[in-house]
Amino acid sequence: MIGRALQFFFCAAMFFSFALVGRADLSLGKIYALEFTDIDGKKISTSDGHITVIVLTTTADLTQAHAVGDRVPVYCLGNPTYRMVSVINFQKKRSAPMRIILTAVARRRVDAEAKILQARYAANKIDKDARRDIFVVTDFDGNAVTQLGSFLDSSRFAVFVFARNGELLRKWDDLPPATELAAVVK
């Protein structure tokens, strides 16, 4: 009887530890092939040949996410080597109709942001549709958030920079200084 209880306890402990490993913080220098789908249905991977800046945010911190975009160096704008992805953590599960509504609101906001970015493109003589360079992932079920080492109910703000092969180059838990961000993406 005690042997059976120990087996059960051991199995439960192993399961729990494996569940936590999937949610551990990401480590600098390690390669991660994280995969996301944005609100336009585009598949995005951290290991698909782009230098990727990922901003993990909630709806309460969208201003900080916007500030990260403003700090992206000019040489990254319109350059297909670089991309920025905003992952919006909605922090709790939502019904299907509510997901549709929130995704539609996100698309409208992205379209408005694209107009602002288009002006920045024009000022820098970049002849490209800025809307195609904006990637937003709406995370209602925690899939994207847990890949980034966080929890669905977390209000954590974070910025990650991945190399072309998916290597995590840098991570900030707050708004990164523009000079540091520029140095890492270079």
How do residues 92-117 score in pLDDT, each as one tens digit? 888 999 999 999 999 999 999 999 99
Ordered alpha helix ranges (H), 49-142: 62-71, 96-123
Look at residue 151 in the predicted model and tell me its pLDDT: 81
Look at residue 131 in the predicted model and tell me its pLDDT: 97
Strand-pair partners of 185 = none
Query: Would you call 103 helix, strand, or coil by DSSP?
Result: helix
Look at residue 2 in the predicted model and tell me its pLDDT: 52
Look at residue 29 in the predicted model and tell me its pLDDT: 97
Chunked into runs of 10 residues, the chain (186 residues) has average pLDDT values of 44 39 76 97 97 96 94 94 96 89 95 95 96 96 92 87 98 96 95
Look at residue 24 in the predicted model and tell me its pLDDT: 63
Under a CB-based contact definition with an 8 Å cutoff, are residues 182 and 77 in contact? no
Q: Which of 66, 40, 30, 63 is nearest to 165 (CA)?
A: 30
Look at residue 153 in the predicted model and tell me its pLDDT: 77
Under a CB-based contact definition with an 8 Å cutoff, are residues 181 and 71 in contact? yes
CA distance to 10, 38, 153, 178, per residue, from 68 (Å): 45, 18, 23, 8
CA distance to 76, 110, 120, per residue, from 126 (Å): 11, 19, 8
Distance of CA 76 to the CA centre of its chain: 17
Look at residue 8 in the predicted model and tell me its pLDDT: 41
Look at residue 20 in the predicted model and tell me its pLDDT: 39
- Report DSSP state, residue 183: H
Cβ neighbors of 170 (< 8 A, separation 6 or more) are 28, 160, 161, 176, 180, 184
Q: Which of 127, 49, 39, 129 is nearest to 85 (CA)?
A: 39
The CA distance from 139 to 99, in Å, is 9
Look at residue 125 in the predicted model and tell me its pLDDT: 95
